[in-house]
Chains A and B, each alone.
Chain A
Amino acid sequence: MKPLEIVGVSYSYGPRTVLQEVTFSLKDGELVGLIGPNGAGKTTLLRLILGLARPSSGEIRLWDRNPYKDPVVRQRIGYLPQRAVYNTHFPLTAGEAVFLALPRRPFALGPNSAERAKIKEALALVGMEKYLDTPLSALSGGQQQLVFLARCLVHKPSLLLLDEPTNALDLSAQHRFYNLLAELQQKIKLTVLVVSHDILALAQVAERFLLLDKKIIASGPPSEILYQFINTPLAGACLVQAHGVG
């Protein structure tokens, strides 16, 4: 059963077409990079998968179920939004940040012992267990991103969606992050879809790249996609955004 199938999905925002007849699927346990220039519709596609917006036409299926009729299926998704979304000066410890990703328990000011065990386990997966009680604001950008990754893992998802997870990290931190992601994918049998402009670092671990520019332009092994498109304006646009070269 495929974790994700997108069939002929289009999305318009007013008169602007953001996505046009997008079709692709993910195999179980696959790590796929979704790349493309700014405005290609990458983040919109993630928002549609998460149910934060509805497609104008087409169908999204998660484990062969329609998430609009059966929204519970979305509980199997872990989502890491772009880092700019977070307020990292929020008075939270790393453990509390992970706690907030767990389901609501009325009148609970903090985690109980069972939740604390889950939080520790999630932080251990990303090598951050010793920072359980450290304020988020005292961690480096790379460490904060690992805590946010632990937030996605705490409810043991089967499908992980990541939106620009390395855009504020230096090159070595990007490589460390993607290597960790590849390890986790093997270790806990995750299917992963990563939106990123850091295509060179992502290419080291992704099994497949999907090149999106309103529709899927190409799909295949990263080396093939990079080779095929490296001299096109589209690839140039990706590299300019990723590395600020013109």
Chain B
Amino acid sequence: MEMLGYVFVQRALVAGILVALLCAFVSFFVVLKRLAFIGNGIAHAAFGGIAVGLVTGLNPLFTASLLAISSAWVIGWLSRKGRLPEDTAIGIAFTAAMALGLIILNFYKGYVDIFSYLFGNILTVSLPELRLLGVVTIVVIIFLGIYFHDLLALTFDEETAEATGVPVTPLYFALLTLLALTVIVAVKVVGILLTSALIVLPAATGYQLAKDYRRLLAYSLLVSILTVLSGILVSYYLDLPSGATIVLIASFVFLLAFLYGQYVRRIRED
């Protein structure tokens, strides 16, 4: 446990727990509302935002948040209006944003560690980033706490929720905004390319085991925290990339849960 004596490891563990909490709560709605592809699109759009930040001298996390949130809203608006199929809108938006990022970076004269944005490195998380992560986590958890019932109602059955007075459209866009913010802070941990795994795998794993939404949320939290922490430890001791290690462990846990879920279902059917 000598590793715990290092400040960067302490920060990484705190950041890991915060990101795991965030992703578990958001993952719950991402899986139930089938927003996984939007999450993936937002992560890619963030890359364009990071590039804009580097070139303009603005904080890359700030510009990435702006681009991620605005692209989430555009995708949400297009899909709700039925102007374009959702997957088509996302496919176009995220590849365009990624391409824009690469072009912009081409004009950037300074050194850019693209790898750290693409694949993340939680061991390099700074104190300001940790503070930002803490603020985002608190905001997201308070919002989800207040509106959990309404969000669950609209996720289950949007039409009835709207008919009973739930502000469906503002809440849907608020959910997309929270998803975008979560993606941005998760990018530091696992990077743009692996972020979608962190916002899908916790609840997808819980879904294999849970018979009600409260257990799904509990499993999602448990899986998220355990896989992120164990990923950080394993990557430290085996000198592996932290993001990829976290995602691989989470994928392995999902596989186990999936096989167990299938086994239980087969026994019930027999």
Contacts and interface: CB of A to CB of B under 8 A. Distances in A.
Interface residues of B, number: 30
Contacts of A155: 164
Contacts of B149: 100, 104-106, 108
Interface stretch (A20-28, A83-91, A194-202): A83-91
Contacts of A80: 160
B211 A109 contact: no
B160 A91 contact: no
A81 B158 CA distance: 10
A81 B159 CA distance: 7
Interface stretch (A69-77, A182-190, A215-223): A69-77
B160 A151 contact: yes
Interface string B138-171: 0000000111111011011111111111100000
A237 interface: no
Contacts of B155: 90
B164 A79 contact: yes
A127 interface: no
B165 A71 contact: yes
A159 B216 CA distance: 35
- Chain A, interface size category, equals 20 to 34
Contacts of B153: 100-101, 104
Majority SS of interface residues in chain A?
loop
Contacts of A128: none
Nearest to A133: B212
A96 interface: yes
Contact of B156 (A52, A75, A92, A109): A92
A91 B210 contact: yes
Q: Which of B32, B150, B156, B157 is packed against the most chain A CB atoms within 10 Å?
A: B156
B98 interface: no
Interface in A32-61: 50-52
B32 to A, nearest CB: 7
Interface string B114-149: 000000000000000000000000000000011111
28 contacts: A71-B165, A75-B164, A75-B165, A77-B163, A79-B163, A81-B159, A85-B160, A86-B157, A87-B156, A87-B157, A90-B155, A91-B207, A91-B210, A92-B212, A92-B213, A93-B212, A100-B153, A100-B157, A100-B161, A101-B153, A101-B160, A104-B147, A106-B145, A106-B148, A107-B145, A107-B148, A109-B217, A135-B211
Interface of A: 50-52, 71, 74-75, 77, 79-81, 85-87, 90-93, 96-97, 100-101, 104-110, 135, 151, 155
Given A91-B32, A100-B161, A135-B212, 20 more contacts: A75-B165, A85-B157, A85-B160, A86-B157, A90-B32, A90-B155, A93-B211, A97-B156, A100-B152, A100-B153, A100-B156, A101-B164, A104-B166, A107-B145, A107-B148, A108-B148, A108-B149, A110-B214, A135-B211, A151-B160
